[in-house]
Amino acid sequence: MARLKKIGIIAVVILSILWIGKVALLDRSPVPEKSDFSLNLKTIRALAHESKGPLPESLHALVIGEGAFPASAVVAGEGLTRKISMVFASFQIVYPGNKTIIIDSAMGQKEHKAMAPDAPYYPERFDAMQDAMLKASQILLTHEHPDHIGGIAISPNVQNLKDKLVLTKEQINDPFRQPEQFTPEALRVIQSLKPLEFEHFISPAPGIVLIKTPSHSPGTQFIYVTLKNGTEFLLVGDIVWSMENIRKLKGKAYLLNLMFLQENRALVASQIRMLSNVLNDPENKIQIVPAHDAERLKELFESKSIVEGFL
Ligand SMILES: [Zn+2]
Q: Does domain 40-308 have CATH number 3.60.15.10?
A: yes
Strands 201-205 and 100-103: unpaired
- pTM > 0.85: yes
Cα 153 to ligand 1 centroid, rounded to whole Å: 15
Residues by chain with Cβ below 5 Å of ion ligand 1: 147, 238
CB 278 within 8 A of CB 288: yes
**What's the CA-to-centroid distance between 133 and ligand 1, angstroms?**
19
For residues 220 and 243, give the distance between their C-alpha atoms in angstroms, rounded to a whole number. 18
Q: Per 3-state DSSP, what percentage of the chain is helix, strand, and coil (rounded to 5)?
A: 40, 20, 40
Per-residue pLDDT of the chain (311 residues; tens, 9 = 90+): 677 788 787 777 777 777 766 667 777 778 999 998 888 899 999 999 998 899 999 999 999 999 999 999 999 989 888 999 999 999 999 999 999 999 999 999 999 999 999 999 999 999 999 999 999 999 999 999 999 999 999 999 999 999 999 999 999 988 667 888 899 999 999 999 999 999 999 999 999 999 999 999 999 999 999 999 999 999 999 999 999 999 999 999 988 888 778 899 999 999 999 999 999 999 889 999 999 999 999 999 999 999 999 99
How many A from CA of 227 to the centre of ligand 1? 25
Buried b (16+ CB within 10 A) or exposed e, 229-259: eebbbbbbbbbbbbbbbbebbbbbbbbbbee
Q: Specify the pLDDT at position 304.
A: 97
Helix (H, G, I), strand (E, B) or coil at 37: coil
Q: Give pLDDT tens digits for 32-56.
A: 999 988 888 999 999 999 988 999 9
Give CA–CA dist 311/129, Å, rounded. 10
